[in-house]
Amino acid sequence: MTDPIADYLTRLRNAIHAGHRVVAIPSSKMKKEITKILFEQGYILNYKFMEGPTPSGTIKIALKYDPVDKVSAIKNLRRVSRPGLRQYTGYKDMPRVLNGLGIAILSTSYGVMTNKEAKERKVGGEVLCYVY
């Protein structure tokens, strides 16, 4: 697999479109950090890191839906930086997703964080994905 982050986002996207409550995804350090950010920002209900037959284990993610009309909290997931075309940004020109309503997840020298955290810390990095 050439792009595990794109696979992670696609598995989440497919589970949301199919209406699943829980999705299992192969784990890595980067995926764990992205999952923690999605939980902190309120896009997913819960998560659990499980050890398994593979060395890295799996991540079980409970997706968040509106109880009345069954609409997902995640409207769109978009991969920005790809292995063939990396996208970097400085803290001065940080991307605004959906005019500030969404988040951009960045990989910086201080770890994986949202665009708002990176702007506060005045660090730039690779833009992994947009979530709204």
pLDDT digits (tens, 9 = 90+) for 73-131: 999 999 999 999 999 999 999 999 999 999 999 999 999 999 999 999 999 999 999 99
Q: In the prediction, which pLDDT does 87 show? A: 96
Token pair for residue 75?
């409207």
Could you tell me how many residues make up the chain? 132
pLDDT digit string, tens, across residues 21-50: 999 999 999 999 999 999 999 999 999 999
- Spell out the domains of the chain, with CATH numbers in brackets: 4-63 (3.30.1370.30), 77-131 (3.30.1490.10)
Phi then psi dihedrals of residue 108, to 5 deg? -115, 180
Q: pTM for this structure?
A: 0.94
State the Cα angle at 129 between 94 and 4, rounded to 5°: 140
Place of tokens 């209900």: 45
Would you give the end-to-end CA distance of the chain in angstroms?
26
Which has the closest alpha carbon to 96: 55, 132, 57? 132
Question: Each residue of 39-81: pLDDT tens digit?
Answer: 999 999 999 999 977 788 999 999 999 999 999 999 999 999 9
